[in-house]
Amino acid sequence: MRSRQANSSDTEGSAFVKPSCDGAFREQAEAGGTCSDRIERFLSICESKASFNAIITPTPEIARAQAEHSDQLLKKGKPRPLEGIPFTVKDNFCTDGIRTTAGSRMLAEFVPPYEASVTKRLWKAGAVMLGKTNMDEFGMGSSTTSSYFGPTTNPVAERLGLADIVPGGSSGGSAAAVAADMCLASLGTDTGGSIRQPASFCGIVGMKPTYGLCSRWGIISYASSLDQAGVLAKTPKDAAITLNVIAGEDPLDSTSFTGTYPDFEVGLGKDIKGKKVGIPKEFLHSQNTAHTQIVWDELERKSNLHQFEIVEVSLPNIPYALQAYYVIALSEASSNLARYDGVRYGHRAENVESLEELYEKTRSEGFGEEVKRRIMLGTYCLSAGHYDQYYQRACKIRTLIKQDFDRSLETVDVLTWPTTPSSAFSSKQHTNDPVEMYLQDIFTVPVNLAGIPAMSIPVAKCERGLPLGLTIAAGQLQDAKVISVADRFMRD
């Protein structure tokens, strides 16, 4: 395994490396015609599929300029790792001179004067930006229905003739864009499953890296100790290539990883015969549904096919993960969103007579119902008399959950379980009771609490033909192992 030093200039001067196995990026790189021609085709697809509402802000002129620059470098024989590859970007990544809304009225007209570290690396590596994708407001949701700019629909469901099916959230616009062939990959963020759950619902690959592997600088914060940039793509290989570009130390982010990390393509195509795959018994026995059983059955089939060993492991504190996650996430959201007061930037209420009224009306008008609900709950958890009872106790549970993962991963190579308790649901479901929606995250939030890498891959379909995802997780900085196992699973 070759190592890569984590540094902020990691992608500069890189030579194009032929992918080690098939994937959408390779097909694009080897396709005929110029980058400009290919990007025009993708822009046409984006325009024709605007009804999905996957993109908030299209950027066709920027895409054309980037594609033209790619063509010039290709003529000179100096291609970069992602030369001419069409990407979209979730609308909570700040993009210099391009509207960045986080799906909220509060930031509906916000144009950042700076670029997020991760997207800056993406453009330096030759990627082409087609637009900023829709999302649940400030990343708070599991359906992409809470966006100020309207809901996104599920392209897979549309092809099946199923109406009003959500793409998942909060990176639902990114997942829908990839699934609808509007781009080859998209950047998303994952706080409690916001990459993996929509990837599962849309039948694509979603990778949440180790916490700190990708810089958070320039990402509009939801919950700082949980947020992590990641990739939605067609294949694990495409995710690996992207991760090789966007990962690395960032002096602007004090939580970014500062050591060395492996090349994420190193395990692609390798045999996984004899690997030990752990199944958490808490998920297998107490959280089983008709749809998760389909995934468990497919996992058993693959275990026979690849001759790997299934080992039942225990994560005894997992039953408390969802409660601990929401206390921590909502508390941090309450703190992070305090900056939106109508004074410095963003939406500002009019016809106010005092500073207090300005704050109150701005926040009432600028935030949607779900965001206001989470801010109030988070503020309550941090208030005097409740901080120890809720927030500190949740942090202690988080430590126990991380220890559970560490202990179980000493005996197996990877852990695996269904990504979601069901296939994609109707936008009218789970609307009357917020807790029902929160329960959709029961399989995804534990890895965010532990800070470990995880990928969702499509492995089966439900009775209606909607995709079902399988999660593969490993220890911290074992992202390459996750990708390797996922790659082999998807080949058969």
Listed residue (140, 233, 227, 220) closest to 187, CA to CA: 233
Residue 213: phi and psi, rounded to 5, are -70, -35
Q: What does the block give as tokens for 456?
A: 């969702």
Please return the burial class of 339, using the count of CB atoms within 10 Å of its CB with bins 0-12, 13-18 and 19+: exposed
Residue in 146, 170, 171, 174 annotated catalytic: 170
What angle, 0 to 180 degrees and rounded to 10, lies between the N-to-C axes of helices 393-408 and 321-336? 130
Q: What does the block give as tokens for 336?
A: 């992070």
User: Catalytic: 194?
Assistant: yes
Instruction: Please say whether the beta carbons of 412 and 278 come within 8 A.
Output: yes
Instruction: Please say whether the beta carbons of 379 and 387 come within 8 A.
Output: no
User: Would you say residue 340 lies in a domain?
Assistant: no
User: Would you say residue 319 lies in a domain?
Assistant: no
Instruction: Please say whether the beta carbons of 54 and 173 come within 8 A.
Output: yes
Q: What is the DSSP string of 16-51?
A: P---SS--HHHHHHHSSS-HHHHHHHHHHHHHHTGG
Q: What does the block give as tokens for 453?
A: 């890498």
Instruction: Please say whether the beta carbons of 115 and 96 come within 8 A.
Output: yes
pTM metric for this prediction: 0.94
DSSP-derived pairing of the beta strands 86-90 and 185-189: parallel
User: Would you say residue 456 lies in a domain?
Assistant: no
Alpha-carbon span 118 to 459, nearest angstrom: 29
- Parent domain of 9: 3-262
Alpha-carbon span 202 to 260, nearest angstrom: 33
pLDDT score recorded for residue 212? 97
User: Catalytic: 70?
Assistant: no
Q: What does the block give as tokens for 325?
A: 């996650």
Q: What does the block give as tokens for 204?
A: 């694509």
What three-state secondary structure class fits 343?
Answer: coil
170 upstream amide cis, omega within 30 of 0 = yes
pLDDT score recorded for residue 435? 87
Instruction: Please say whether the beta carbons of 128 and 85 come within 8 A.
Output: yes
Residue 414: phi and psi, rounded to 5, are -140, 165
Contacts of 236 (CB under 8 A, 6+ apart): 205, 207, 268, 455, 457, 483, 486, 487, 490
Residue in 49, 90, 402, 481 annotated catalytic: 90
DSSP-derived pairing of the beta strands 467-473 and 454-461: antiparallel
Q: What does the block give as tokens for 87?
A: 């990407």
Residue in 70, 147, 194, 331 annotated catalytic: 194
CATH for 113: 3.90.1300.10
User: Would you say residue 387 lies in a domain?
Assistant: no
DSSP-derived pairing of the beta strands 205-208 and 229-233: antiparallel
Residue 424: phi and psi, rounded to 5, are -60, 140
pLDDT score recorded for residue 2? 35
Amino acid occupying residue 39:
I
User: Would you say residue 335 lies in a domain?
Assistant: no
pLDDT score recorded for residue 429? 85
Long-range contacts of 434-438 (CB under 8 A, 24+ apart): 434/370, 434/373, 437/141, 437/142, 437/143, 438/142, 438/322, 438/326
Per-residue model confidence as pLDDT tens for the chain (492 residues): 334 444 444 433 332 233 334 689 988 888 888 999 999 999 999 999 999 999 999 999 999 999 999 999 999 999 999 999 999 999 999 999 999 999 999 999 999 999 999 999 999 999 999 999 999 999 999 999 999 999 999 999 999 999 999 999 999 999 999 999 999 999 999 999 999 999 999 999 999 999 999 999 999 999 999 999 999 999 999 999 999 999 999 999 999 999 888 899 999 988 888 899 999 999 998 888 999 999 999 999 999 988 999 999 999 999 999 999 999 999 999 999 999 999 989 999 999 999 999 999 999 999 999 999 999 999 999 998 899 999 999 999 999 999 999 999 999 999 999 999 999 999 988 777 888 889 899 999 999 999 999 999 999 999 999 999 999 999 999 999 999 999 999 987
User: Would you say residue 488 lies in a domain?
Assistant: no
Number of domains in the chain: 1
Instruction: Please say whether the beta carbons of 325 and 448 come within 8 A.
Output: yes
Alpha-carbon span 50 to 157, nearest angstrom: 16
pLDDT score recorded for residue 432? 77
User: Would you say residue 41 lies in a domain?
Assistant: yes
User: Would you say residue 220 lies in a domain?
Assistant: yes
Residue 192: phi and psi, rounded to 5, are -145, 25
Alpha-carbon span 153 to 163, nearest angstrom: 8
pLDDT score recorded for residue 247? 97
pLDDT score recorded for residue 32? 81
User: Catalytic: 14?
Assistant: no
pLDDT score recorded for residue 21? 46
